[in-house]
Structure 1
Amino acid sequence: MDNILAIILSATALATLFNLLLKRFNIPTIIGYIITGFAIAYMYKLGRNNESLTHIAEFGVVFLMFTIGLEFSIKHLLSMKKDVFFYGLLQVSLVGGVIALGAEHFFGIEKKSAIIIGYALALSSTAIVLKILNDSGTIHTIYGRKALGILLFQDIAVIPILLMLNIFSNQNSSLSELLLQTLYSVIIILGLMFIIGKYLLNRFLSLVVWADTQEIFIASVLLLVVGASFLAHTLGFSYSLGAFLAGMMMSETQYKHQIEADLVPFRDLLLGLFFITVGMQIDLGLISQNYGTILLFLVTMVAFKTLVVFGILFFAVGGRVALKTGLALCQAGEFSLAILALASSTQLISAKTSQILIVTVVLSMIMTPFILKNMKKIVDAITKEPNNGDFMIHSSGIKDHIIVCGYGKLGQEIVYRLKKMNVNYLVLEHDINLVKLGQNRGEPVYFGNAAEKSILKNAFVEESKAVIIAINNEKKLILLCEVLKSFDAPIKIVAKASDYDEKKLLKALQVKHIVNEGREAAKALLKVAMDEDIDY
């Protein structure tokens, strides 16, 4: 127990120290976590394949895939079917096939082992790529969506790769039995997800929200995410695929923004742990003995994977976007590590080959944040094609709209007048009964705590014309103003003051547009919000 506590304290202290230091040089936090893992493994002589720790850390990827799933409804995913099922299939087939042939002919590796190596290295890092694309907002660019589509197919491709691993290592089960078992699993998981999403999910979440207890709401969401992941894993799929499907189910509910805001701390904490386990895989002794081989594998893999993605996307989206997508997916990923470790444990590949490949994979993952961070410079140096593929393609994004916080009597009056003026708007409300009232009226009323930064980002607050605060709770009013003031972009805040003291507090926060409460408050708030001549 004392040793575990010492490891946790050391890891937390080192992660904080490294990331504070790296932040000064504008280096991504992922690198700090990887260095922490490397340091902890050597300090406490931890094994490089700590299975229990790896399983816990994998839930960082699970929560990441869940939050990505929240952005994609079934309809949205179907609109991406070409990116997922065409480009994704081409990328995995070509990269996996060519690497397998190369491993067999040039290095004399047995055919079965070469196939597993090839398709393991065809996979990219969902955790690193999607985290950085999410944090930078570039997941909503054309190249971000192409990368996401291919990553989703790669996550699905883990199933047949693991199936091949089972076939090659287990001679007792026939191919037809394994294929039939996989088909049954697909039918069961999709059938259950459909039934739960269509008939049970909304009722369950409505009941939870009715209880009006934050911890019950968070616990119920964790239950759904972990439950879906466990179900998928039990049926032979990856945890993260189950989480993605759960996120897609919840994307159809009015609670999606609040769910995402509540799960972000869990996701980021577990992702940090995941990257620490990646750092634990680094073996300096092995690198020093085989640095030539590792460097050759690393350069060949990164260049080849980039060229394949560039080739399959070039004619569809142009050279610039194709190159960006290729560079984003040039590394191997977390599933590569898992597959190589499994192949080693079943004697399909030797321990030395497995370790060399694992170190190569980890080094490619370490390179990725630097590549993504300097993407524009790298692409500008390689191609002179005009920059026409970096614009955002938010499916639900709006701009120059009014955000109304609160759908009480005042909020409803404001919405009524906005509709008459034909102004774009959306409403954020934390009372589920008022949310249902607004949605029954056909209004864009979303469930969520407006004082949470992530929810305001989902409402595109930085692109809004103004934010009207139509709530009566003084503490919530002040907290919301503080959160709005924390954004980098200047946001026009229009607030109602109930009395002199409240007005003083708002002025102390430098809120310039304050309206005194009264019968004409709704008219006055709108007049100030729509006045473009006021400097702020």
Structure 2
Amino acid sequence: MDNLVYIFIIAAGCAILFNLIFRKYEIPTIIGYIATGVFISQLFGLKSNHDLSFVAEFGIVFLMFTIGLEFSIKHLMSMKKYVFLYGSIQMIVTGFILSLLAFYMFGLDIKIAIIIGFAMALSSTAIVLKILNDTGHISKKYGRKALGILLFQDIAVIPLLLMMDIFDIEDGSVSSLILTSIISAVILIVLLYFIGKYILSRVLNAVIQTNSKEIFITTILFTVIGASFLAHYFGFSYSLGAFIAGMLIAETPYKHQIETDLIPFRDLLLGLFFITVGMQINFAVIFTNLLIIIPMLICVLFIKIMVVYLFLMMFARKKTALKTALSLAQVGEFALAIFTLLSVKNMIDDRILQILTAVVIISMVLTPFILKNVVKIADKMEEQDILDDEIISSQEQDIMDELTSKNSMELKEHFVVCGYGRLGREIIRQLKAKGCSYIALESDLNLVERGKKSGDNVYYGDATQKNTLEKVCIKDCVAAIIAVSNEQKSELIANSIKDLGYDVNTIIRFADTIEKGLYRDFGDHFHLVKEREAVANAIIRKALECVKDKFSRSVDG
């Protein structure tokens, strides 16, 4: 225990220092955490012990729970094409090719090669979803496709672990093991569904009545960890139990508050997970086997990119297919766990284990840089999409024109703009041009400072918090405009406005029918604007202005 506290204190201090330095150069925090792990393992000789790795694993558990919150059973079924079609194609094709690579490169038994190949077909849920959430790209087309494939991969971990047990026992026990696993899965799902539907909602309602935030957070932590251990008891991964629990809670009215309260725990534990990843890097093994690791790394990345790109070309634009493929190129954290289990069962020797671990970790380190530049890379393959977030929709403009006519210059008749990104800045520019009073809220301090320098009325604040909305007098505003690209945050803001009960006119843009469905029951005060239609209307509007201008010049002539 003392060693665990010692590691944690040193790791926390180094993580703060590295990330403060890295953020100046816009290097993702994930790299800072991995660098921390490398630094403390090399300088202090500290190695990731079982207790630390066990705690760090709950970073993935909390991540899967928050993903489940955003994807209820109804929502998951609406994405069934992304999850079950795209996911199964990616896993089967990539796993088969990488199995052949492992078989011929290491001369392994075909059964072990299959496990390794399919493990390397997995991508990093922790890295990809964190970055897509942070950048707001989770709501974009390629983000949704990547998310669907990642969800299938997390489900595919179950048969992969089952495969390890099948290959490790006598043939006569295989049918018994499969039957036991199926029965366990049915019992687990039924049990969690019963608890979520008939018990959890009542418990949460009773906890809310106490008006105690501490009891509420404790209840949620108990729910997440309890569901994880229940899944583990039946022979499945901790993260699967958390994901199912999140999907069940997504059907309750408390999911948004739960997500807000859990994010700090999730991010802290995810940081600890990436530190343990960094602590596993063995430079001696990397340098000794560099001529094997580099070619294998290149082959794995190339195969994973090409498989996803080629089959998605049949269903989507080339640019979307390429961005999705680049997002999923790395090998995921679950592969590390599978390789460790193979070693424990004496199914793989230590040298091959270290080589595979090095390939996985290097691919994970490269991922933040790839995702940060994924749009630039894809733009070189195809011209930029017509759809552009910077173009404000004519439908939004018509609504604003109508509301502006009612607007006096009194402070209480103002617009509340949630978000100061590209769309938010364009909205504010047009509001200023019309002489409208407005207040903008932005949670990114850099954007706030940029707005202040431009003379815009933008303030630092979290629009998902009700007290923040109260401070900008949203009750007396003409309309609230949600101008954030992140689907999760957009929905959180909309729910906060709805829960205030002021019937505020709220304008929300949405990307597709899946996102539109999130606002189906919000009421008549919430006005939805579709991106694609907005761009088309804006183009037609400009074209008509050109016709009008040409006609005017011909009359003058």
Given residue 309 of structure 2, which amino acid in structure 1 is its aligned partner? F
Deviation at residue 513 of structure 1 after TM alignment = 9.3
Q: Does 1:150 align with 2:149?
A: yes
1:80 aligned partner? 79
Contact 2:4 2:51 in 1 (8 A): no
1:11 aligned partner? 11
1:299 aligned partner? 298
CA distance in 1, matches of 2:270, 2:444: 29
Deviation at residue 201 of structure 1 after TM alignment = 2.1
Deviation at residue 465 of structure 1 after TM alignment = 9.5
Deviation at residue 98 of structure 1 after TM alignment = 1.1
Q: CA 1:326 to 1:177, structure 2 compared with 1: closer, same or farther past 3 Å?
A: same
Aligned partner of 2:385 among 384, 387, 397: 387
1:317 aligned partner? 316
Deviation at residue 45 of structure 1 after TM alignment = 2.4
1:194 aligned partner? 193
Contact 1:485 1:491 in 2 (8 A): no
CA distance in 1, matches of 2:398, 2:157: 42
Q: CA 1:401 to 1:242, structure 2 compared with 1: closer, same or farther past 3 Å?
A: farther
CA distance in 1, matches of 2:326, 2:443: 35
Deviation at residue 482 of structure 1 after TM alignment = 8.9
Contact 1:126 1:333 in 2 (8 A): yes
Q: Root-mean-square deviation (CA), in Å? A: 3.6
Off by >3 Å, runs of 4+ in structure 1: 1-6, 388-392, 398-402, 461-466, 480-493, 509-515, 524-527
Q: Write out per-residue CA displacement over residues 300-353 of structure 1, whole angstroms, 9 at most, x where no aligned residue.
A: 000110000111111101111111111000000110000011111212111100
TM-score by length of 2: 0.71
Q: Does 1:35 align with 2:35?
A: yes
2:493 aligned partner? none
1:46 aligned partner? 46
CA distance in 2, matches of 1:112, 1:257: 44
Deviation at residue 43 of structure 1 after TM alignment = 3.1
Q: CA 1:225 to 1:158, structure 2 compared with 1: closer, same or farther past 3 Å?
A: same
2:246 aligned partner? 247
CA distance in 1, matches of 2:337, 2:269: 17
Q: Write out per-residue CA displacement over residues 107-135 of structure 1, whole angstroms, 9 at most, x where no aligned residue.
A: 42211111111011010100000000011
Deviation at residue 46 of structure 1 after TM alignment = 3.1
Given residue 146 of structure 2, which amino acid in structure 1 is its aligned partner? A
Contact 1:399 1:465 in 2 (8 A): no
Contact 1:124 1:332 in 2 (8 A): yes
Deviation at residue 106 of structure 1 after TM alignment = 4.5
1:520 aligned partner? none
SS in 2 for 1:316: coil
1:99 aligned partner? 98
CA distance in 2, matches of 1:23, 1:271: 18
Contact 2:440 2:458 in 1 (8 A): no
Given residue 64 of structure 1, which amino acid in structure 2 is its aligned partner? L
Alignment map for 1:352-363 (pairs within 5 Å):
352-363=351-362
CA distance in 2, matches of 1:302, 1:484: 35
2:57 aligned partner? 58
2:21 aligned partner? 21
CA distance in 1, matches of 2:503, 2:68: 37
Q: CA 1:233 to 1:286, structure 2 compared with 1: closer, same or farther past 3 Å?
A: same
CA distance in 1, matches of 2:340, 2:242: 23
Q: CA 1:157 to 1:20, structure 2 compared with 1: closer, same or farther past 3 Å?
A: same
Q: CA 1:111 to 1:141, structure 2 compared with 1: closer, same or farther past 3 Å?
A: same
Deviation at residue 390 of structure 1 after TM alignment = 7.7
Deviation at residue 205 of structure 1 after TM alignment = 0.7
CA distance in 2, matches of 1:189, 1:96: 28
SS in 2 for 1:317: coil
Q: CA 1:17 to 1:186, structure 2 compared with 1: closer, same or farther past 3 Å?
A: same
Given residue 318 of structure 2, which amino acid in structure 1 is its aligned partner? G
Contact 1:324 1:375 in 2 (8 A): yes
SS in 2 for 1:330: coil
SS in 2 for 1:315: coil
The gaps in structure 2 that reach 5 residues or longer are: 407-417, 429-438, 460-467, 477-501, 508-524, 526-557
Deviation at residue 8 of structure 1 after TM alignment = 2.1
Contact 1:399 1:464 in 2 (8 A): no
1:182 aligned partner? 181
2:258 aligned partner? 259
Instruction: Report how many residues are paired.
Output: 434
SS in 2 for 1:91: helix
Q: CA 1:22 to 1:66, structure 2 compared with 1: closer, same or farther past 3 Å?
A: same
Q: Write out per-residue CA displacement over residues 436-484 of structure 1, whole angstroms, 9 at most, x where no aligned residue.
A: xxxxxxxxxxxxxxxxxxxx88xxx969999xxxxxxxxxxxxx99988
1:374 aligned partner? 373
CA distance in 1, matches of 2:503, 2:151: 45
1:166 aligned partner? 165
1:214 aligned partner? 213
**Percentage identity across aligned positions?**
50
Q: Which moved more, 1:355-364 or 1:4-13?
A: 4-13
Deviation at residue 292 of structure 1 after TM alignment = 1.2
Q: CA 1:483 to 1:313, structure 2 compared with 1: closer, same or farther past 3 Å?
A: closer
Q: CA 1:340 to 1:141, structure 2 compared with 1: closer, same or farther past 3 Å?
A: same
CA distance in 2, matches of 1:385, 1:77: 32
Contact 2:475 2:504 in 1 (8 A): no
Contact 1:465 1:492 in 2 (8 A): no
CA distance in 1, matches of 2:243, 2:173: 30
TM-score by length of 1: 0.74
1:68 aligned partner? 67
SS in 2 for 1:241: helix
Q: CA 1:76 to 1:96, structure 2 compared with 1: closer, same or farther past 3 Å?
A: same
SS in 1 for 2:280: coil
1:475 aligned partner? none
Given residue 260 of structure 1, which amino acid in structure 2 is its aligned partner? E
Q: CA 1:180 to 1:513, structure 2 compared with 1: closer, same or farther past 3 Å?
A: closer
Alignment map for 1:126-525 (pairs within 5 Å):
126-171=125-170, 174-381=173-380, 383-387=381-385, 488=448
